[in-house]
Every structure is written in C-alpha cells, then in structure tokens.
Structure 1
Amino acid sequence: MTEIDRKGLGHRFWEKIPMAKMSRPQWEALCDGCGKCCLNKLEDEETGEVALTRVACRLLDDDTCLCSQYPIRHQFVPECIVLSPKTITENLYWLPQTCAYRLLHMGQPLPEWHPLLTGRPETVHEAHASLRGQTVSEFDVADDDWEDYIIEEPT
C-alpha cells in the first residue's frame, strides 16, 4: 500500500475523478513538490513565451522545494497565484511542463516519478525533475538581473 492510499485519497483517484470534482486533499496531492511553480518567470511581451529562472520566491525552501509558509503565503506574497479548477485554464501558460495540474488538464498521464505513482515524495528529486539545491532567493538578485538566471526546465 502506498503512502497516498494510506491517506485515504483513493487509488489512482486522478484517473477517475475530474479535477473540478476533487476534494481539497486530492487537489493538493497532485502537486509533485518540484518547486518549479515557485520560480520567478520572465514573459516575452511580444511572443508571450515564458522563461523559467533559478530565482525563487522568497518563501521557497530550496532543500524541500516546498513553500515554507504555504497556508499563510498570501500574507507575505499577496500576488501568489491560487491554482484551482476554475483558474487553471488562465494559468496554464506558466505551469511547468511536468506539472500534474497541467498534464491532467491536457488529458496526459502523470510522469512515472510522480509521488502519486511511487508513493514516495523523494522520487521527484531522484528523477532530477525538481530544482532542489539549485535556486537563488529573489532577495539576492536584482529584478533587472533575472535574465542572467534563465534556465531550461528540467523534465
């Protein structure tokens, strides 16, 4: 039995339940813990293309790749986007390519390393699909220098 099954979320619930009908715990469990959504991005105004940077939100814990203040993050970062079934379409353009929310919305399967499939949260890091240990805080980089930190998204 996997960790996910023990949480009572249902075996492979994401294959049976539409995203809009998932419970809050099921919705939250889709997050793989890669931390990529918490990286600051640059958008080309002409093309709309979004570039990922190693410059992380001030709340991202670089060791865990999780938000250090997730339940109260809006007190510190009011502009932090709340992803929900209602807002996913308008936010799809900036979600990482391997993001479960993006993949399921597009009718694609989860990556084989996703914690929902493995039952282990470490597999996202073992697969090098996260930015663990590779980010810099937005406090340490001037906004004008973010271009120097553009990276290719790990897959």
Structure 2
Amino acid sequence: MSEANGTAWGMCAAFGCPLAGTVGSENKWYCFCHANKPSNFNDAITRELREKQAHIVNAIGILRIHGCSFYGSDAEYRAIQQLLIGADRRDLLMSAEEKQTGGARAWLLRLERALVDACAGFGEQKPIPLTVPTAPVIGPTRASNFHPYADGAEA
C-alpha cells in the first residue's frame, strides 16, 4: 500500500478504482477516468468501471502488463478478444490497420478512449428544466359552457 487510504502502489487514488494512476493531481495519482473530475463523482465513476466496463478495464490491464506486445504468444491477444466478444463489443477489437502496423499501442489508446467516453457524463452539471413536468390533462381543458347556477338554484 502506498497511501494512507489503502490504495495499492501504482493504482488510482480513487477508492476501489481498478485502473493504474497515470495523472498526478494534489499529491495523488489518478487514472485517466478520474482525473479532472470532482471528487464527489469518484464512486459513480468507479462503479461504472467495475460493473459496466469491466471487460475494457481487463483488456487494458492485459495490454499494459504485456507492454503492448504479443510477440511469441497469442494467448493474451486471444484473451482480450474473448473479453470483448463476450461483452458484445466487437467494435473494440483490434482493427486490420492496427494488426498490419503492429499497433497494439493504438489499440490501447482506442480502448482507453472508450472508457473516457463511458465516464464522460459524470461530473457535469445537468441543466435544470425551466418548466415543471406535469401529467397530461384528462377531460375538458376550458369551461366555456359551465354555468354553476344553470339548474335555477340560486344561493
């Protein structure tokens, strides 16, 4: 552990974040998803990474551990493929152009960009609507023929 909050060395300073800390801020290291976001959104971003984007997080981890190199072994490459296909994210598989140029680093950047996009909405102020949402009106909307004393009873 590297810090008083129990964060493992090299990991993001946001509690529970599974990504490595890569951006320094306020004497702490944050991942690219938590960096420059208000701290009150840390839990929501971490939840997004752990629950909905775990396949991309794991793929990034494999790529980083192996230094963006698959020379000598395709097992790691196949593991990443299975993660992404299993999560129905075929759009994030290594492209033909990246395969030809040996662009595992370009692939890593594309995967990281997908995480940044997934967490982009956290920390932004949502606009307050100018009108109050109401239920639809049932029945007449005006009372042009309404006569409270139509039956002749006077009060």
Structure index of larger Rg: 2
TM-score class, shorter:
under 0.3
The answer to which structure, 1 or 2, has the higher relative contact order (CA under 8 A, 6+ apart) is 1
Higher share in strand: 1
Normalising by the residue count of structure 2, what TM-score does the alignment of the two structures yield?
0.27
Normalising by the residue count of structure 1, what TM-score does the alignment of the two structures yield?
0.27
